Structure 1
Amino acid sequence: MELTETHTLPVPQQRAWEALNDTAILKTCIPGCESIEPDGENAYAVALTAAVGPVKARFKGRMQLADIDAPRSYTIQFEGQGGAAGFGKGDARVTLEAAGDDATTLSYTARAQVGGKLAQIGSRLVDGAARKIAAEFFKRFGEQFGGDAEQTASNENDSTATDPPAASADDTAATGDEPQKRKRSWTAWISKS
Protein backbone atom coordinates (compact mmCIF):
# COMPACT_ATOMS: atom_id res chain seq x y z
CA MET A 1 0.00 0.00 0.00
CA GLU A 2 1.21 3.51 -0.78
CA LEU A 3 -0.40 6.77 0.37
CA THR A 4 0.71 10.23 -0.81
CA GLU A 5 -0.88 13.48 0.37
CA THR A 6 -0.16 17.17 0.77
CA HIS A 7 -1.62 19.45 3.44
CA THR A 8 -1.27 23.17 4.14
CA LEU A 9 -0.74 23.99 7.81
CA PRO A 10 -1.58 27.51 9.11
CA VAL A 11 1.76 27.98 10.90
CA PRO A 12 5.39 28.78 10.04
CA GLN A 13 7.68 25.86 9.11
CA GLN A 14 9.59 25.84 12.43
CA ARG A 15 6.39 25.63 14.48
CA ALA A 16 5.08 22.79 12.28
CA TRP A 17 8.39 20.94 12.75
CA GLU A 18 8.24 21.35 16.53
CA ALA A 19 4.66 20.04 16.62
CA LEU A 20 5.59 17.00 14.50
CA ASN A 21 8.27 16.18 17.08
CA ASP A 22 6.12 16.78 20.18
CA THR A 23 4.93 13.42 21.52
CA ALA A 24 2.06 15.00 23.52
CA ILE A 25 0.67 16.61 20.35
CA LEU A 26 1.16 13.42 18.33
CA LYS A 27 -0.61 11.32 20.99
CA THR A 28 -3.58 13.70 20.84
CA CYS A 29 -3.67 13.67 17.02
CA ILE A 30 -3.16 9.98 16.20
CA PRO A 31 -6.56 8.22 16.28
CA GLY A 32 -6.66 5.45 18.89
CA CYS A 33 -3.20 6.31 20.28
CA GLU A 34 -2.79 5.19 23.89
CA SER A 35 0.88 6.05 24.40
CA ILE A 36 4.07 7.30 22.77
CA GLU A 37 7.15 6.82 24.95
CA PRO A 38 10.84 7.45 24.16
CA ASP A 39 12.63 4.22 23.28
CA GLY A 40 16.20 5.19 22.40
CA GLU A 41 17.59 8.02 20.29
CA ASN A 42 14.92 9.31 17.87
CA ALA A 43 12.82 6.21 18.60
CA TYR A 44 9.48 5.72 20.31
CA ALA A 45 7.39 2.83 21.62
CA VAL A 46 3.80 3.27 20.48
CA ALA A 47 0.55 1.60 21.56
CA LEU A 48 -2.72 2.22 19.74
CA THR A 49 -6.06 0.65 18.96
CA ALA A 50 -7.16 0.58 15.34
CA ALA A 51 -9.99 -0.92 13.34
CA VAL A 52 -9.52 -2.05 9.76
CA GLY A 53 -12.77 -3.32 8.34
CA PRO A 54 -14.04 -6.05 10.68
CA VAL A 55 -10.67 -6.40 12.42
CA LYS A 56 -10.11 -4.29 15.55
CA ALA A 57 -6.96 -4.75 17.56
CA ARG A 58 -4.52 -3.15 19.95
CA PHE A 59 -1.16 -2.67 18.29
CA LYS A 60 2.17 -2.26 20.01
CA GLY A 61 5.12 -1.16 17.98
CA ARG A 62 8.13 1.01 17.46
CA MET A 63 8.66 4.16 15.45
CA GLN A 64 12.16 5.33 14.46
CA LEU A 65 13.02 8.71 12.93
CA ALA A 66 15.78 8.64 10.30
CA ASP A 67 17.26 10.94 7.64
CA ILE A 68 16.46 13.95 9.85
CA ASP A 69 16.94 17.31 8.13
CA ALA A 70 15.44 19.77 10.65
CA PRO A 71 13.14 21.65 10.03
CA ARG A 72 12.55 20.27 6.53
CA SER A 73 12.15 16.50 6.51
CA TYR A 74 12.53 13.10 8.07
CA THR A 75 11.64 9.48 7.46
CA ILE A 76 9.53 7.55 9.94
CA GLN A 77 10.14 3.80 10.00
CA PHE A 78 7.47 1.85 11.87
CA GLU A 79 6.49 -1.67 12.76
CA GLY A 80 3.74 -2.99 14.99
CA GLN A 81 2.15 -6.22 16.16
CA GLY A 82 -1.56 -6.62 16.73
CA GLY A 83 -1.62 -10.17 18.08
CA ALA A 84 -4.02 -12.37 16.12
CA ALA A 85 -4.98 -9.39 13.93
CA GLY A 86 -1.55 -9.44 12.34
CA PHE A 87 1.21 -6.91 11.86
CA GLY A 88 2.03 -3.76 9.99
CA LYS A 89 5.36 -2.25 8.97
CA GLY A 90 6.58 0.43 6.66
CA ASP A 91 7.94 3.92 6.35
CA ALA A 92 6.78 7.46 5.63
CA ARG A 93 8.82 10.30 4.14
CA VAL A 94 7.60 13.63 5.55
CA THR A 95 8.67 17.00 4.13
CA LEU A 96 7.85 20.54 5.23
CA GLU A 97 8.17 23.52 2.91
CA ALA A 98 7.48 27.15 3.81
CA ALA A 99 4.44 28.54 1.97
CA GLY A 100 4.85 32.18 2.94
CA ASP A 101 5.48 33.55 6.43
CA ASP A 102 2.53 31.93 8.19
CA ALA A 103 1.90 28.68 6.32
CA THR A 104 3.70 25.42 5.68
CA THR A 105 3.10 22.74 3.08
CA LEU A 106 3.43 19.25 4.56
CA SER A 107 3.83 16.39 2.07
CA TYR A 108 4.26 12.74 2.80
CA THR A 109 4.52 9.42 1.07
CA ALA A 110 3.83 6.38 3.22
CA ARG A 111 4.40 2.77 2.26
CA ALA A 112 3.13 -0.08 4.41
CA GLN A 113 2.82 -3.83 4.41
CA VAL A 114 0.37 -5.80 6.51
CA GLY A 115 0.18 -9.48 7.37
CA GLY A 116 -2.09 -11.88 9.22
CA LYS A 117 -5.85 -11.21 9.31
CA LEU A 118 -5.19 -7.67 8.10
CA ALA A 119 -3.77 -8.98 4.85
CA GLN A 120 -6.72 -11.35 4.43
CA ILE A 121 -9.39 -8.62 4.51
CA GLY A 122 -8.12 -7.06 1.31
CA SER A 123 -6.08 -4.09 0.24
CA ARG A 124 -9.13 -1.96 -0.52
CA LEU A 125 -10.30 -2.01 3.12
CA VAL A 126 -6.76 -1.53 4.41
CA ASP A 127 -6.20 1.46 2.07
CA GLY A 128 -9.54 2.98 3.09
CA ALA A 129 -8.76 2.62 6.79
CA ALA A 130 -5.29 4.14 6.31
CA ARG A 131 -6.77 7.14 4.47
CA LYS A 132 -9.39 7.61 7.17
CA ILE A 133 -6.77 7.52 9.94
CA ALA A 134 -4.55 9.97 8.01
CA ALA A 135 -7.48 12.35 7.42
CA GLU A 136 -8.42 12.30 11.10
CA PHE A 137 -4.78 12.85 12.10
CA PHE A 138 -4.48 15.96 9.92
CA LYS A 139 -7.83 17.29 11.08
CA ARG A 140 -6.71 17.01 14.71
CA PHE A 141 -3.21 18.29 13.88
CA GLY A 142 -4.66 21.39 12.22
CA GLU A 143 -6.88 22.00 15.24
CA GLN A 144 -3.74 22.18 17.41
CA PHE A 145 -2.95 25.42 15.60
CA GLY A 146 -6.44 26.90 15.94
CA GLY A 147 -7.65 25.80 12.51
CA ASP A 148 -7.86 22.84 10.17
CA ALA A 149 -5.06 21.55 7.99
CA GLU A 150 -6.18 22.17 4.43
CA GLN A 151 -5.97 19.05 2.33
CA THR A 152 -4.69 19.95 -1.10
CA ALA A 153 -4.03 16.55 -2.64
CA SER A 154 -5.80 13.40 -1.60
CA ASN A 155 -7.67 10.46 -3.00
CA GLU A 156 -10.41 10.68 -0.38
CA ASN A 157 -12.03 13.76 1.12
CA ASP A 158 -15.75 13.07 1.12
CA SER A 159 -16.33 13.15 4.90
CA THR A 160 -16.90 16.91 4.81
CA ALA A 161 -19.58 16.54 2.14
CA THR A 162 -21.77 14.49 4.50
CA ASP A 163 -21.34 16.70 7.58
CA PRO A 164 -24.41 18.80 8.23
CA PRO A 165 -24.05 22.58 8.07
CA ALA A 166 -25.69 22.92 11.49
CA ALA A 167 -22.83 21.08 13.19
CA SER A 168 -20.31 23.89 13.22
CA ALA A 169 -17.14 24.51 15.17
CA ASP A 170 -19.20 26.87 17.37
CA ASP A 171 -21.38 23.94 18.42
CA THR A 172 -18.26 22.01 19.41
CA ALA A 173 -16.83 24.95 21.37
CA ALA A 174 -20.13 25.60 23.15
CA THR A 175 -20.57 22.01 24.32
CA GLY A 176 -16.90 21.12 24.76
CA ASP A 177 -17.49 18.00 22.66
CA GLU A 178 -14.89 16.66 20.34
CA PRO A 179 -15.79 16.24 16.64
CA GLN A 180 -16.59 12.54 17.12
CA LYS A 181 -19.14 13.37 19.83
CA ARG A 182 -20.61 16.08 17.62
CA LYS A 183 -21.55 13.39 15.11
CA ARG A 184 -23.40 11.46 17.80
CA SER A 185 -25.27 14.57 18.92
CA TRP A 186 -26.29 15.16 15.26
CA THR A 187 -27.65 11.62 15.16
CA ALA A 188 -29.55 12.27 18.39
CA TRP A 189 -30.96 15.47 16.91
CA ILE A 190 -32.23 13.58 13.85
CA SER A 191 -33.94 10.95 15.99
CA LYS A 192 -35.72 13.68 18.00
CA SER A 193 -37.18 15.18 14.80
Structure 2
Amino acid sequence: MELSGKAKFNYCSEVVWEAMHDPELLKNAIPGCQNLNLVGDGKYDVELKLGVAAVKGDYTGKVKLEDVHVPSHYILTAEGSGKPGFVSAKMDCKIIPEGKGCQLIWECNADIGGMIAGVGSRVIGGIAKFMAGKFFKDIEKQLNVHQNI
Protein backbone atom coordinates (compact mmCIF):
# COMPACT_ATOMS: atom_id res chain seq x y z
CA MET A 1 0.00 0.00 0.00
CA GLU A 2 1.30 3.44 -0.89
CA LEU A 3 0.31 6.59 0.98
CA SER A 4 1.47 10.18 0.91
CA GLY A 5 0.55 13.50 2.42
CA LYS A 6 1.60 16.93 3.59
CA ALA A 7 1.40 18.73 6.91
CA LYS A 8 1.87 22.47 7.35
CA PHE A 9 3.33 23.88 10.54
CA ASN A 10 3.49 27.42 11.87
CA TYR A 11 7.00 26.73 13.15
CA CYS A 12 10.39 26.80 11.45
CA SER A 13 12.01 23.63 10.14
CA GLU A 14 14.38 23.36 13.10
CA VAL A 15 11.55 23.41 15.67
CA VAL A 16 9.50 20.85 13.74
CA TRP A 17 12.60 18.67 13.29
CA GLU A 18 13.19 18.66 17.05
CA ALA A 19 9.54 17.76 17.69
CA MET A 20 9.64 14.90 15.19
CA HIS A 21 12.65 13.46 17.07
CA ASP A 22 11.49 14.05 20.66
CA PRO A 23 10.38 10.68 22.13
CA GLU A 24 8.00 12.26 24.66
CA LEU A 25 6.26 14.46 22.06
CA LEU A 26 6.05 11.52 19.67
CA LYS A 27 4.62 9.21 22.33
CA ASN A 28 1.87 11.75 23.04
CA ALA A 29 1.09 12.24 19.35
CA ILE A 30 1.24 8.72 17.88
CA PRO A 31 -2.30 7.29 17.94
CA GLY A 32 -2.54 4.37 20.35
CA CYS A 33 1.06 4.69 21.55
CA GLN A 34 1.52 3.06 24.94
CA ASN A 35 5.30 3.20 25.06
CA LEU A 36 8.13 4.65 22.96
CA ASN A 37 11.72 4.09 24.05
CA LEU A 38 14.87 5.39 22.41
CA VAL A 39 17.20 2.35 22.39
CA GLY A 40 20.04 3.67 20.24
CA ASP A 41 20.98 6.32 17.75
CA GLY A 42 17.73 6.82 15.80
CA LYS A 43 16.29 3.49 17.00
CA TYR A 44 13.12 3.07 19.03
CA ASP A 45 11.06 0.27 20.53
CA VAL A 46 7.34 0.97 20.39
CA GLU A 47 4.16 -0.51 21.86
CA LEU A 48 0.78 0.40 20.37
CA LYS A 49 -2.82 -0.43 21.13
CA LEU A 50 -4.85 0.06 17.95
CA GLY A 51 -8.10 -0.98 16.41
CA VAL A 52 -9.05 -1.04 12.75
CA ALA A 53 -12.73 -1.78 12.15
CA ALA A 54 -13.49 -4.92 14.18
CA VAL A 55 -9.81 -5.88 14.41
CA LYS A 56 -8.26 -4.55 17.61
CA GLY A 57 -5.07 -5.46 19.38
CA ASP A 58 -1.70 -4.71 20.88
CA TYR A 59 1.39 -4.36 18.72
CA THR A 60 5.10 -4.25 19.48
CA GLY A 61 7.66 -3.06 17.02
CA LYS A 62 10.83 -1.27 16.13
CA VAL A 63 11.39 2.07 14.39
CA LYS A 64 14.65 3.19 12.83
CA LEU A 65 15.69 6.51 11.27
CA GLU A 66 18.03 6.42 8.28
CA ASP A 67 19.47 8.83 5.70
CA VAL A 68 19.20 11.65 8.24
CA HIS A 69 19.94 15.19 7.03
CA VAL A 70 19.24 17.66 9.86
CA PRO A 71 16.78 19.52 9.66
CA SER A 72 15.32 18.60 6.29
CA HIS A 73 15.14 14.86 5.57
CA TYR A 74 15.00 11.36 7.01
CA ILE A 75 13.67 7.92 6.18
CA LEU A 76 11.70 6.12 8.86
CA THR A 77 11.45 2.34 8.72
CA ALA A 78 9.05 0.54 11.03
CA GLU A 79 8.08 -3.05 11.69
CA GLY A 80 5.44 -4.21 14.12
CA SER A 81 3.31 -7.21 14.88
CA GLY A 82 0.57 -8.41 17.18
CA LYS A 83 -2.29 -10.92 17.22
CA PRO A 84 -4.24 -9.02 14.53
CA GLY A 85 -1.31 -9.09 12.08
CA PHE A 86 1.81 -7.26 11.08
CA VAL A 87 2.89 -4.00 9.46
CA SER A 88 6.15 -3.14 7.75
CA ALA A 89 6.57 0.41 6.48
CA LYS A 90 9.14 2.75 4.98
CA MET A 91 8.38 6.48 5.03
CA ASP A 92 10.37 9.24 3.36
CA CYS A 93 10.00 12.58 5.22
CA LYS A 94 11.06 15.98 3.91
CA ILE A 95 10.75 19.21 5.91
CA ILE A 96 10.70 22.26 3.66
CA PRO A 97 10.76 25.89 4.88
CA GLU A 98 7.66 27.78 3.77
CA GLY A 99 7.14 31.42 4.72
CA LYS A 100 7.40 31.74 8.52
CA GLY A 101 6.72 28.03 8.97
CA CYS A 102 7.41 24.82 7.11
CA GLN A 103 5.79 21.89 5.39
CA LEU A 104 6.46 18.22 6.03
CA ILE A 105 5.94 16.07 2.93
CA TRP A 106 5.81 12.30 3.42
CA GLU A 107 5.57 9.25 1.20
CA CYS A 108 5.04 5.81 2.68
CA ASN A 109 5.09 2.27 1.35
CA ALA A 110 3.57 -0.28 3.74
CA ASP A 111 2.96 -4.02 3.76
CA ILE A 112 0.17 -5.34 5.96
CA GLY A 113 -0.65 -8.96 6.76
CA GLY A 114 -2.80 -11.11 8.98
CA MET A 115 -6.38 -10.39 10.08
CA ILE A 116 -5.83 -6.66 9.71
CA ALA A 117 -5.19 -7.10 5.98
CA GLY A 118 -8.60 -8.74 5.68
CA VAL A 119 -10.22 -5.37 6.40
CA GLY A 120 -9.28 -4.28 2.88
CA SER A 121 -6.72 -1.84 1.53
CA ARG A 122 -9.26 0.91 0.79
CA VAL A 123 -10.47 0.94 4.41
CA ILE A 124 -6.93 0.60 5.79
CA GLY A 125 -5.70 3.41 3.52
CA GLY A 126 -8.46 5.74 4.73
CA ILE A 127 -7.77 4.93 8.36
CA ALA A 128 -4.01 5.37 7.88
CA LYS A 129 -4.54 8.82 6.29
CA PHE A 130 -6.86 9.81 9.14
CA MET A 131 -4.32 8.66 11.75
CA ALA A 132 -1.49 10.51 9.99
CA GLY A 133 -3.58 13.69 9.98
CA LYS A 134 -4.34 13.28 13.68
CA PHE A 135 -0.65 12.67 14.42
CA PHE A 136 0.47 15.90 12.72
CA LYS A 137 -2.33 17.94 14.36
CA ASP A 138 -1.31 16.57 17.75
CA ILE A 139 2.35 17.46 17.09
CA GLU A 140 1.25 21.03 16.27
CA LYS A 141 -0.85 21.19 19.47
CA GLN A 142 2.09 20.03 21.56
CA LEU A 143 4.38 22.54 19.89
CA ASN A 144 1.87 25.28 20.72
CA VAL A 145 1.96 24.26 24.39
CA HIS A 146 5.75 23.78 24.61
CA GLN A 147 6.64 26.92 22.68
CA ASN A 148 4.38 29.08 24.87
CA ILE A 149 5.82 27.86 28.21
Q: Same fold (TM over 0.5)?
A: yes
| Greater fraction helix | 1
Q: What CA distance in whole angstroms lies between the structure 2 residues aligned with 1:138 and 1:75?
A: 17
Could you say which structure has the larger radius of gyration? 1
8 Å CA contact retained: 2:88, 2:112: yes
Structure 1 residues 78-136: Cα deviation after superposition (integer angstroms, max 9, x where no partner)? 000112x0100011001001112x30111000111110101112111211221121111
Q: What CA distance in whole angstroms lies between the structure 2 residues aligned with 1:145 and 1:23?
A: 13
1:117 equivalent in structure 2: 115
| Aligned ranges 1:47-126 → 2 under 5 Å | 47-83=47-83, 85-100=84-99, 102-126=100-124
TM-score (ref. length: structure 2): 0.93
2:19 equivalent in structure 1: 19
Give structure 2 stretches of 5+ with no counterpart: none
1:41, distance to aligned residue in structure 2 (A) = 2.2
Structure 1 residues 30-58: Cα deviation after superposition (integer angstroms, max 9, x where no partner)? 11101110222210000011111110111
1:146, distance to aligned residue in structure 2 (A) = 2.2
8 Å CA contact retained: 2:29, 2:139: yes
**Paired AA for residue 88 in structure 2:** K
| Count, aligned residues | 145
**Matched residues, percent identical?**
32
The runs of at least 4 consecutive aligned structure 1 residues that moved more than 6 Å come to none
Q: What CA distance in whole angstroms lies between the structure 2 residues aligned with 1:27 and 1:56?
A: 19
Q: What CA distance in whole angstroms lies between the structure 2 residues aligned with 1:142 and 1:3?
A: 21
Give structure 1 stretches of 5+ with no counterpart: 148-193
